[in-house]
């Protein structure tokens, strides 16, 4: 079953030549004959190692501006021939085709070219044809051929060849083939998704090459893996590795903080905000956010949108927390915050985030556009006799940003750029309202004079009645219930201003 294959002939044609030289030099010591094209051919010659031109093997030069170089039976026959079959061997001898035992090929940088904002024609030219065909052919014939489709595998192949005197086993070749098909499928997915942006075909394709194994999933008995490039988004300055639950909370924290431009701090627990405040300075924002619910803040995820200085860090240092995220930290702030080794301190980088969200559901996948809408004063329609003041409109906007990112059913109270309390994830909107009232009162907040936001319309007037009796002065809701007028009438009776936005913000 081992089926060792000694490498005699190798086809090498790569875009990236990083760390290629040691592998080529090692193969040369085993007497391997090289076939190559263009820049890779020159690279091998510069190592003072003999190399055959692919065009001499095929009898054709590189044509059509390099679009056709290796697409020829003399190349693919040598890769795809089944060594144990006498018929295949006879045809190779008949047409003087050498057996190719090793293919080292990578692909044009399609994704990088798209990300650079290049013109469409430049992007199209980075769709590899010969390379992808060579990779698939060599991977298909792993029984007799080694395929190396990434520079990341050079060192491993070197070690195998050194330990096995220039030969590879069937198991090793099959492992390299698996990686090669991963390379080709990821590449095709990137190309398809580029073409599928306008008038998209309703199919789901997603491919992430980077993976990070987590300590466990949502609970210790569940496995967990993160697929994506966290290093592109954060610099981890301190602390243990992020857990599954940390990542879910961090995602929610990033989403809510991106709604604010003024200095703002948010504290989250189980993806819901338990403290949010906007102030003139980040220290004032922190103190106000913490005061919203200092009990829930314990062990939470903290995020802000301005640099954390030493004074703010010293205040934060008084709380046990899991994760702190900021765009930057002063040096002396980091000295304070990194004193405890397990705290996760992240510095956020500027990186584009996906515009869609998906998750597995039942026996498939559910996909949606992100909720990137949040309605400000200009989108609010006053529908009551009492009109909201300018300050109330400002607080309604603040509350609307928070309610959008809070689990339904939800009610949010806010005042002076501060989250007063929220009722989250309740099966009844009335229950959510009562929870918010109880929470506000338990932390000594005066509900009188605050504003209230709801993520969906009121099917009955009871919420408006309870809120008015509690002292709420202005209410925001999307509207759209067939019984809207009952809530409007109740608001008028309680002398509460009410605005509608026309946009619902469910979050399940």
Please tell me the distance from the alpha carbon of residue 507 to that of residue 172, in angstroms, as a whole number. 47
Helix (H) or strand (E) holding 344: strand 344-348
38: left (phi over 0), alpha (psi -120 to 50) or beta: left
**Which one, of 79, 77, 103, lies nearest residue 90 by Cα?**
77
Interacting residues of 94 by C-beta distance below 8 A, sequence separation 6+:
none
**Which one, of 176, 92, 95, 165, lies nearest residue 141 by Cα?**
176
Longest dimension (CA), the chain: 97
| CA–CA–CA angle 303, 434, 465 (5° rounding) | 120
Please tell me the distance from the alpha carbon of residue 274 to that of residue 462, in angstroms, as a whole number. 25
Please tell me the distance from the alpha carbon of residue 485 to that of residue 478, in angstroms, as a whole number. 13
Query: DSSP letters along 169-231, please?
Result: -HHHHHHHHHHHHHHHHHHHHHHHHHHTSSS--S--------EEE-S-SSSTTS--EEES-HH
Torsion angle in degrees (nearest 10) through CA of 125, 131, 135, 138? 150
Please tell me the distance from the alpha carbon of residue 262 to that of residue 281, in angstroms, as a whole number. 9
* Cα distances (angstroms) measured from residue 421 to each of 275, 441, 458, 473: 8, 9, 19, 15
Overall residue count recorded for the chain in this entry: 508
3-state secondary structure 66-132: HCECCCCHHHHHHHHCCCCCHHHHHHHHHHCCCCCCEEEECCCCHHHHHHCCCCHHHHHHCCCCHHH
Q: Which of 89, 126, 140, 151 is catalytic?
A: 140
**Which one, of 303, 298, 296, 300, lies nearest residue 282 by Cα?**
303
Q: Which of 17, 270, 310, 434 is catalytic?
A: 270
Enter the tokens of residue 496: 């509460």
Report the relative pairing of strands 5-6 and 167-168 from DSSP bridges.
antiparallel
Residue 270 annotated to the active site: yes
Q: Please check whether residue 24 is in contact with residue 45, taking contact to mean a CB–CB distance below 8 angstroms.
A: no
Please tell me the distance from the alpha carbon of residue 271 to that of residue 290, in angstroms, as a whole number. 16
Chain-centroid distance, C-alpha 439? 34
Residue 349 annotated to the active site: no
> Catalytic positions, please?
140, 270
């Amino acid at each position: 079953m081992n089926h060792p294959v000694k490498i005699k002939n190798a086809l090498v044609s790569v875009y990236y030549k990083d760390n290629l030289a040691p592998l080529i030099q090692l193969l040369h010591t085993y007497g391997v004959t090289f076939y190559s094209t263009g820049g890779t051919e020159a690279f091998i010659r510069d190592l003072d190692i003999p190399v055959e031109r692919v065009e001499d093997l095929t009898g054709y030069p590189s044509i059509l501006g390099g679009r056709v170089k290796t697409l020829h039976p003399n190349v693919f026959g040598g890769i795809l021939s089944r060594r144990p079959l006498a018929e295949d061997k006879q045809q190779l001898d008949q047409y003087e085709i050498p057996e190719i035992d090793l293919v080292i090929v990578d692909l044009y940088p399609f994704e990088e070219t798209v990300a650079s904002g290049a013109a469409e024609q430049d992007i199209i030219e980075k769709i590899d044809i010969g390379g992808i065909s060579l990779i698939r052919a060599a991977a298909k014939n792993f029984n007799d051929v080694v395929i190396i489709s990434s520079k990341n595998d050079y060192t491993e192949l070197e070690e195998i060849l050194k330990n096995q005197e220039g030969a590879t086993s069937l198991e090793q070749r099959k492992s390299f083939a698996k990686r090669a098909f991963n390379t080709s499928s990821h590449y095709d997915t990137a190309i398809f998704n580029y073409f599928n942006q306008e008038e998209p075909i309703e199919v789901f394709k997603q491919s992430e090459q980077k993976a990070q194994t987590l300590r466990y999933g949502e609970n210790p008995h569940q496995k967990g893996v993160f697929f994506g490039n966290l290093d592109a988004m954060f610099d981890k300055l301190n602390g243990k590795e992020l857990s599954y639950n940390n990542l879910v909370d961090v995602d929610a924290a990033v989403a809510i903080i991106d709604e604010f431009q003024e200095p703002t701090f948010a504290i989250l627990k189980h993806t819901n905000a338990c403290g949010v405040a906007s102030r003139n300075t980040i220290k004032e924002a922190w103190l106000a956010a913490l005061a919203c619910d200092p009990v829930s803040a314990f062990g939470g995820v903290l995020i802000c949108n301005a640099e954390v200085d030493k004074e703010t860090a010293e205040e934060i240092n008084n709380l046990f927390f899991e994760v702190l995220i900021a765009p930057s930290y002063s040096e002396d702030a980091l000295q304070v915050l990194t004193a405890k080794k397990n705290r996760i301190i992240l510095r956020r980088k500027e990186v584009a985030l996906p515009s869609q969200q998906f998750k597995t559901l039942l026996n498939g996948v559910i996909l949606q556009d992100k909720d990137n809408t949040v309605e400000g004063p200009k989108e609010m329609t006053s529908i009551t006799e009492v009109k909201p003041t300018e300050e109330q409109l400002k607080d309604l906007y603040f509350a609307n940003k928070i309610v959008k990112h809070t689990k339904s059913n939800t009610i949010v109270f806010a005042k002076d750029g501060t989250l007063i309390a929220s009722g989250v994830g309740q099966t009844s909107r009335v229950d959510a309202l009562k929870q918010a009232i109880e929470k506000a009162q338990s932390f000594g907040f005066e509900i009188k004079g605050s504003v209230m936001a709801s993520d969906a319309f009121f099917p009955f007037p009871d919420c408006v009645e309870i809120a008015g009796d509690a002292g709420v002065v202005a209410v925001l809701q999307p509207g759209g219930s067939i019984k809207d007028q009952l809530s409007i009438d109740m608001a008028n009776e309680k002398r509460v201003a009410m605005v509608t936005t026309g946009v619902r913000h469910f979050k399940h």
